[in-house]
Structure 1
Amino acid sequence: MSNILDTIWVFHGEGGRFSSGVFTSIEKAEIWIDGHKLSGVLTAYPIDEGVYDWALFNNFLDVKKQSQMSPNFIQQFTSASQDHYHYENGTRDN
């Protein structure tokens, strides 16, 4: 079994400007989210790689416009293909 971690879980609380928690497993994240009865989104992010590059490599993004290669686009890019879960008062939405 490899000890290399390739995904990190980031929690972004409802209404927050910045993320409020980063976890090595979804289980650890959910214990924290439930313990504080938080609302927001928990998203898997690749480690040591930007989401834009990850999406390109995995064919989740097909660049069709020059503007999709701009720094502004790349720095704001997220992908619906990232695993993500929504929580309300500590409970995961189904």
Structure 2
Amino acid sequence: MDDERAIAAELRDGGNGLWSSVECDVKRDRIVVYARLVAHARTDLENALAESERVLNSVLGQRAKRNGWIAAVQWSERLCKTFVANDGAGLGDDPRCA
């Protein structure tokens, strides 16, 4: 639980107000992140998603060296973008990530 809080806090700090909420689950084989964009970031969605990807890669890339990670960044009730570790480590067997 401490790892989850520490990772979420590090993401919030790195995102510098980009997300209204960040939740994190540390699984045996990967880190799973759920983030929601703040309302004003949605007006420039392309840049907000690019910045989300940069922060996620920076923070999770260092923390998940042995395991993969997956993150969903949501900007409305029905729309989100999923980001995965650049190398896809640990994700190959999960059909939800195909």
TM-score range, shorter chain: 0.3 to 0.5
Structure 2-normalised TM-score? 0.31
More helix by share: 2
Scaled by the length of structure 1, what TM-score is found? 0.32
